[in-house]
Chains A and B, each alone.
Chain A
């Protein structure tokens, strides 16, 4: 493996772009293919299918074995609301291997003292997300309870196809939210993707327990999302 190829691969991953490393196991070919890039010949459809599937495997083409290692961006959680639940969720997400960012325009909540070591933006979601859009590999967790803050990023997450969109609030609160989203032009089918009340139904009561329920639901959504083939099972 050339060192420049590794550098390019890591740069693509840092920039959150899906990329495949295509390696002929007889040593005749080794290159990166970025998502959306067109390539020639019989490998084209195989590469396209691998991006759709999101999993790595060996493929035989005209007697040559190619290993396609599919690198999708690392899973990321964007939390709207610098609240107690977020304080508990931040370290849990890090342990589980998820990057986490918190956005809350209320400067009294979004203080570095409350969120040491966590990426924190004391700004409106509209401003933070403007230049760095959400993507399919991001989970959006809206927990401020304030429609003025939560509604925009929820709509943005549904539009971006985030693998998880969860919103805090009772069924009554969520009912009102669905009315507002409907008025804003979000179809019922799309709005139905919102997980509300947020989190797995495990009777969570404290902020820490609710954070566990949310993280469990995020993991379930990522690992059981459609179009992903079987991954390795546990054992060993």
Chain B
């Protein structure tokens, strides 16, 4: 049982333990290459709000989400390029049509995602 010597402020946040940016910090400390993807703009119906993060390591492992699953695959492959090239990139995803189904948003919105290397 917790005692009086433990304060409310000292209780670690379980929510932050699953947070992509906290996971990214842990990955970097392990010496892994990391990219951080951030939703910076949305138009229309977008599945994840501005500020949402997806973090990717050099082997393609990822945590978090920028679209609820619609474009994560494309963001991960761009992130691997950013990790090797170093320079950040701005990605834009729009309405899915038949030819672009695999990298579109079926909800009909548009999003811009900023991908940058950590470190």
> How many angstroms from the CA of A232 to the CA of B41 in the assembled complex?
10
Within 8 A of B (CB), among A117-171: 119-123, 127-129, 131-132
Known: A3-B28, A99-B15. A232 touches B49 (CB 8 A): yes
Known: A14-B13, A101-B8, A128-B8. A236 touches B105 (CB 8 A): yes
Contact with B along A97-129 (1 / 0, CB 8 A): 111010000000011100000011111000111
| B25 interface neighbour in A7, A123, A128, Cβ under 8 Å | A7
| A232 interface neighbour in B7, B36, B50, Cβ under 8 Å | B50
> How many angstroms from the CA of A121 to the CA of B105 in the assembled complex?
46
> How many angstroms from the CA of A194 to the CA of B43 in the assembled complex?
37
- The residue on A at minimum CB distance from B40 is A67
Interface residues on chain A, number (Cβ under 8 Å):
50
Contact with A along B50-76 (1 / 0, CB 8 A): 111000000000000001111000000
Contact A236 B51 (CB under 8 A): no
Contact A236 B68 (CB under 8 A): yes
Q: Is A94 an interface residue (CB 8 A)?
A: yes
Contact A120 B1 (CB under 8 A): yes
In the assembled complex, the CB of A126 is this many whole angstroms from the nearest CB of chain B, namely 12
Q: Is A172 an interface residue (CB 8 A)?
A: no
- The residue on B at minimum CB distance from A30 is B116
Known: A7-B25, A233-B46. A99 touches B14 (CB 8 A): yes
Interface residues on B, range: 35 or more
Contact B46 A9 (CB under 8 A): no
Q: Is A192 an interface residue (CB 8 A)?
A: no
> How many angstroms from the CA of A111 to the CA of B25 in the assembled complex?
35
Contact B1 A14 (CB under 8 A): no
Contact A14 B16 (CB under 8 A): yes
Contact A233 B45 (CB under 8 A): yes
Give the residues in chain B near A2, CB-CB below 8 Å: 119
Contact B9 A131 (CB under 8 A): yes
Contact B25 A10 (CB under 8 A): yes
Contact A131 B7 (CB under 8 A): yes
- The residue on B at minimum CB distance from A107 is B1
> How many angstroms from the CA of A76 to the CA of B9 in the assembled complex?
11
| Interface window among A52-60, A176-184, A202-210 | A52-60
Give the residues in chain A near B36, CB-CB below 8 Å: 1, 6
Q: Is A42 an interface residue (CB 8 A)?
A: no
In the assembled complex, the CB of B43 is this many whole angstroms from the nearest CB of chain A, namely 11
Question: Which residues of chain B have a CB within 8 Å of any CB of chain A?
Answer: 1-2, 4, 6-16, 19, 21-22, 24-25, 28, 36, 38, 40-42, 45-52, 67-70, 88, 90, 105-109, 114, 116-119
24 pairs from A and B in contact (CB 8 Å cutoff): A3-B28, A6-B25, A6-B36, A10-B21, A10-B25, A13-B13, A15-B9, A23-B114, A25-B114, A56-B50, A67-B38, A70-B51, A74-B13, A94-B14, A101-B8, A101-B11, A127-B4, A129-B8, A132-B7, A232-B48, A233-B46, A234-B47, A235-B108, A236-B68
